Chains A and B, each alone.
Chain A
Amino acid sequence: MRDTPGKPTPVTGATLEEKCKNAKAQLDKHFVETVQWHFNPETGTPFWLEKAKSFDFNPLTDVKSYADINKFPIFEDDWLRGGPIRKWVPKAYADRGVYVFETGGTTGLPKTRIVIDDFKIDYEMMSDTLPDKAFPKGSNWLMLGPSGPRRLRLAIEHLAQYRGGICFCVDLDPRYVVKCLKERKIAEAQSYKDHCIDQALTVLAGGHDIKCMFTTPKLLAGFDEQIRAGKLEDKYRALGKPIPAGGLRSIKSAGITGIFSGGTEFTPQFTREAYEEMLDDGDVYMTPTYGNTLMGLACSKPIGPDDGFKISYYAPQPRAVIEVVNPDNFEEIVGYGETGRVMLTTLTKEFFVPRFPERDEGEREKPFDKYPWDGVSGVRPFAALAGGTVVGVY
């Protein structure tokens, strides 16, 4: 499949230092262009054109580099709750087909984000980071994750298509799971999870040459549990198909070679457990991701035992930026290795979100060759906010 227009040019450079310098220049240029686009009366976004009236600076003349991001107010997620949704569609895209993706919404209004092509570009960029050996081009995918109004289902389907495959999907509503857990209906939540995994096993047993899958950490564990319990073999028996020699009691033996996982918190311990106990000591490749509907998705450094299963994420710069900031002063970026709150910025022609404080914290990571800009590791719920939220339920 051909690239969707809008994919940024990869950063080049002979040394890491040079790459970092070039990445910064690319970000500066991209940031200024994005601001010009969203605040131009001809092409701009109604929300930002209206919001700019309250600014004490002119985005069209006073923004010269990414350093000027701090001139913008902290993005409030309540701005994304409620309509009209059209206020977020740039005027230049008024005649384009628009998707709306939601996040949150178990109680009250969800946050909404408009999308035209961003999810395709994000996942094509992500695709370029996947090893072909684990995610063979042309092989089919299984999507066992949140569907409905979320971006993931369409994004994974596009990822599969971009890589020449076809994606089988399972329907999963995480809001229902959150509701069950809040009402302490533990058995009902478990039953729903089993129901979703059962559908995935049915797809696997169907003989569709599925080698790649997306799933969340919790569902991966549940999927592994069911396979180890012989549920995939049961499916084969029910279909009258012979069980291959060696059985079907592991994800590897089920034919999966690569797993792209994300959607909820990823801990080093879970990653280790997955690597050692679910994926045959890394024989099945897994890559964690960090992202959300607002930002896109950040890729991880390859994980493994060599660095204690540490997970470091890097945003798809220049389309999105991750900063680790002092939770009491968002303008202060913490030192490398220090802990801070995760601050996201989204910079695409479809969607401009400057300085959005995520509900997560982590440690600031240094740039490296593949991603010559800052990253974040050890991402977990922000301590000052943790406790009031049900996380990682699906």
Chain B
Amino acid sequence: MIQIPALRFGKPYTSLEKATLIHHVTGEPVAEVSQVTGSQIARDLGQMERAHKELRAIPIRDILEIYRKAADYFVTATLPCGDAELTFDDYVRNLSATTGSPMVFCRRNALKVHYVLENIEVVLGGLTRGLDLTALDTGYATGGGRTQAFYPTTDVFGAVLPSNSPGVHSLWVPTIALKMPLLLKPGREEPWTPMRVLQAFIKAGLPAKFLGFLPTDHAGAADILRLCGRSMAFGDDKTMAPYKHDHRVEIHGTGYSKFIFGDDQADNYEQYLDTIVEGIAGNGGRACVNASGVWTPRNGKAIAEALAKRLSGAKPRPWDHPDCEIAGFARPEVAEAIDGMVTKALETPGAVDVTEQVRGTPRLVKEGRIAYLLPTIVRCDTPDHPLANKEFLFPYASVVECPQADVLKRIGYTLAATVLSEDERFLADAMACPNIERLNLGALPTNRLTWDQPHEGNLFTHLYRQRALNIAPTSHATAGPAARPVAAGRDVAAV
């Protein structure tokens, strides 16, 4: 069994309280993860002002070089993980073992993390909208005759992470490049990816004092969100409700992602079925960008049946099978609870589980210690049905009929929406729709992400605020780099 300590900004810490992670199939212990308390986190955060100052002093070019090396180490090196040394394959195997996510999904998602590490300049370019990255050294950049200056909003960035999909780790990976100390609270079953990224950074030369790996409980997570000047957190609507109006916390909650047919394409639904199936069930259907709804002005019944036929063939396969399509639940009681919620909601008239009719077997499958939920398409008569706008941790989608004129008003918060239409006016309405966070126009799955665009917030604007910067002309002769705006020819006008 692997012993994984906390990393308290340079100091490994083995706690008397440990979370035991078990193999979801065999039930055997895989690792023990040291847990820290909220007060320990608070104590560590007291050192962050100094750490931030030291990290700011490292030139961005050096940090980008660290990213390039870390990207390579992440996939090729044997890296420490507590008292073990893990190859990339070992890492993927452990990740799958404790989360229940099949190895093929774990590998695919880990490569997303690698992509961000390897392409950090592209990602930063997207997040900063092309800002000259030396601005991260100097605090400002000049270009096109303008000066843009920024200041950090915090001394540390905290991330309260989930266990369900390792791909989400791509979101915090740019933090160090933005010259911000990083505190990670890993999901209970998923210490593997955060630890591996941090170890790749350390092997690449980043001082460990900028990195915190602090497994903790719910109260400790709340302390992270309270004490870090900026943070991100993953959780369901209920968990995240207290932070809904806290601008310091970037919430990654339930996605309610959707495909939306326009009037002009509703009769052509068959040509979009592959795209929709990928959006619903890709990566096991567990991500917030997986579609949980297909909204159409007509042909709801036909669309539901066509999707059900495509998805009803999915079968549980062993976690290490290369053709896995669905993820197992390491805690079968969670699958049972979700199944019960769907079944209970189906008692409300106006909805039918079309996949169960096509498949002829229940959605809940138990095998040994684990359980699976088979893909489920529910046809809802109206958007008001309790299952019309729900998201679950498995490939689930409702098919809902709603007139085009109403749909953008009825969809509610939608993280990723793919609008299937060529109607320019409808597309323009979609472009202006405030309910949609990520908008895809045309046949793109909802879960197709580009890492150089914001995802439920922009890490750069979360960690930096733009400020006005004026420097008196007389100071530039002795003030060094800070005088560059003037040197660039921009006189400071009195306003």
Which residues of A line the B interface, CB within 8 A?
184-187, 190, 221-222, 224-225, 228-229, 267-270, 272-273, 277-278, 308-309
**Is the beta-carbon distance between B241 and A225 smaller than 8 angstroms?**
no
A268 cross-chain contacts in B, Cβ below 8 A: 16-17
CA distance A309 to B38 in the complex (A): 19
CA distance A61 to B420 in the complex (A): 88
CA distance A268 to B18 in the complex (A): 12
CA distance A269 to B238 in the complex (A): 29
**Is the beta-carbon distance between B17 and A225 smaller than 8 angstroms?**
no
14 CB < 8 A contacts A-B: A184-B238, A184-B241, A186-B222, A187-B246, A224-B43, A225-B42, A225-B43, A228-B43, A269-B15, A269-B17, A269-B35, A273-B39, A278-B39, A309-B16
Q: How far is the CB of B47 from chain A (nearest CB, A)?
A: 11
**Is the beta-carbon distance between B242 and A225 smaller than 8 angstroms?**
no
Q: How far is the CB of B299 from chain A (nearest CB, A)?
A: 42
Given A184-B241, A228-B46, CB of A267 within 8 Å of CB of B39: no
CA distance A228 to B46 in the complex (A): 8
Given A228-B46, A308-B16, A309-B16, CB of A273 within 8 Å of CB of B40: yes
- CB-defined interface of B5-36 with A at 8 Å, one 1/0 digit per residue? 00000000001110000000000000000010
**Is the beta-carbon distance between A190 and B43 smaller than 8 angstroms?**
no
A187 cross-chain contacts in B, Cβ below 8 A: 226, 242, 246
A267 cross-chain contacts in B, Cβ below 8 A: 16-17
From B15, B35, B226, B241, contact of A190 by CB (8 A): B226
Given contacts A184-B242, A269-B15, 13 further A-B contacts (CB under 8 A): A185-B242, A186-B222, A186-B242, A222-B39, A224-B43, A225-B42, A225-B43, A228-B42, A228-B43, A267-B16, A273-B40, A277-B40, A309-B16
Q: How far is the CB of B4 from chain A (nearest CB, A)?
A: 16
Is B37 part of the contact surface with A, judged by Cβ < 8 Å? yes
Do most interface residues of chain B lie in helix, strand or loop, or is the interface mixed? helix
Q: How far is the CB of B216 from chain A (nearest CB, A)?
A: 11
Q: Which of B36-78 contact A (CB under 8 A)?
A: 37-40, 42-43, 46
Q: Which of B278-329 contact A (CB under 8 A)?
A: none
Do most interface residues of chain A lie in helix, strand or loop, or is the interface mixed? helix
Q: Which residue of A lies closest to B15 (CB)?
A: A269
B43 cross-chain contacts in A, Cβ below 8 A: 224-225, 228, 277
CA distance A308 to B16 in the complex (A): 8
From B38, B226, B238, B242, contact of A221 by CB (8 A): B38
Given A269-B17, A272-B16, CB of A229 within 8 Å of CB of B39: no
A224 cross-chain contacts in B, Cβ below 8 A: 39, 43
Given A225-B42, A277-B40, A277-B43, CB of A269 within 8 Å of CB of B16: yes
Which residues of B line the A interface, CB within 8 A?
15-17, 35, 37-40, 42-43, 46, 222, 226, 238, 241-242, 246
A308 cross-chain contacts in B, Cβ below 8 A: 16
From A185, A186, A225, A309, contact of B39 by CB (8 A): A225
Which of B35, B46, B246 has the most CB atoms of chain A within a 10 A radius of its CB? B46
Q: Which residue of B lies closest to A392 (CB)?
A: B219
CA distance A184 to B238 in the complex (A): 9
What 10 pairs across the A-B complex have the smallest Cβ distances? A221-B39, A269-B16, A269-B17, A225-B42, A186-B242, A268-B16, A184-B242, A186-B222, A269-B15, A228-B46
B246 cross-chain contacts in A, Cβ below 8 A: 187
Q: Which residue of A lies closest to B41 (CB)?
A: A225
**Is the beta-carbon distance between B16 and A221 smaller than 8 angstroms?**
no
CA distance A300 to B462 in the complex (A): 48
CA distance A225 to B38 in the complex (A): 10
CA distance A268 to B16 in the complex (A): 7
CA distance A228 to B37 in the complex (A): 16
A229 cross-chain contacts in B, Cβ below 8 A: 46
A272 cross-chain contacts in B, Cβ below 8 A: 16
Q: How far is the CB of A278 from chain B (nearest CB, A)?
A: 8
Q: How far is the CB of B61 from chain A (nearest CB, A)?
A: 36
**Is the beta-carbon distance between A221 and B37 smaller than 8 angstroms?**
yes
B16 cross-chain contacts in A, Cβ below 8 A: 267-269, 272, 308-309
CA distance A187 to B42 in the complex (A): 16
CA distance A308 to B15 in the complex (A): 11
A190 cross-chain contacts in B, Cβ below 8 A: 226
Q: How far is the CB of B154 from chain A (nearest CB, A)?
A: 16
B39 cross-chain contacts in A, Cβ below 8 A: 221-222, 224-225, 273, 277-278
Which of A190, A225, A278 has the most CB atoms of chain B within a 10 A radius of its CB? A225
CA distance A185 to B242 in the complex (A): 7
Q: How far is the CB of B337 from chain A (nearest CB, A)?
A: 14
CA distance A186 to B225 in the complex (A): 11
CA distance A224 to B222 in the complex (A): 18
CA distance A186 to B242 in the complex (A): 7
A273 cross-chain contacts in B, Cβ below 8 A: 37, 39-40
Q: How far is the CB of B246 from chain A (nearest CB, A)?
A: 8
CA distance A184 to B244 in the complex (A): 12
CA distance A228 to B44 in the complex (A): 11
Which of B35, B42, B238 has the most CB atoms of chain A within a 10 A radius of its CB? B42
CA distance A186 to B35 in the complex (A): 21
CA distance A142 to B143 in the complex (A): 60
CA distance A270 to B35 in the complex (A): 11
CA distance A272 to B42 in the complex (A): 16
Which of B17, B38, B39, B241 has the most CB atoms of chain A within a 10 A radius of its CB? B39
From B37, B46, B222, B226, contact of A270 by CB (8 A): B37
Q: Which residue of B lies closest to A309 (CB)?
A: B16
CA distance A221 to B42 in the complex (A): 9
CA distance A187 to B226 in the complex (A): 8
Q: Which residue of B lies closest to A270 (CB)?
A: B37
Q: How far is the CB of A331 from chain B (nearest CB, A)?
A: 33
Q: How far is the CB of B481 from chain A (nearest CB, A)?
A: 33
CA distance A190 to B246 in the complex (A): 15
CA distance A229 to B222 in the complex (A): 18
CA distance A57 to B15 in the complex (A): 52
CA distance A277 to B42 in the complex (A): 11
CA distance A136 to B9 in the complex (A): 38
CA distance A270 to B219 in the complex (A): 14
Q: Which residue of B lies closest to A229 (CB)?
A: B46
CA distance A272 to B36 in the complex (A): 11
Q: Which residue of A lies closest to B43 (CB)?
A: A277
Q: How far is the CB of A350 from chain B (nearest CB, A)?
A: 37
B242 cross-chain contacts in A, Cβ below 8 A: 184-187
CA distance A225 to B43 in the complex (A): 7
Q: How far is the CB of A324 from chain B (nearest CB, A)?
A: 21
A185 cross-chain contacts in B, Cβ below 8 A: 242
A269 cross-chain contacts in B, Cβ below 8 A: 15-17, 35, 37
Q: How far is the CB of B228 from chain A (nearest CB, A)?
A: 14
Q: How far is the CB of A173 from chain B (nearest CB, A)?
A: 20
CA distance A228 to B242 in the complex (A): 27
A222 cross-chain contacts in B, Cβ below 8 A: 39
CA distance A180 to B117 in the complex (A): 42
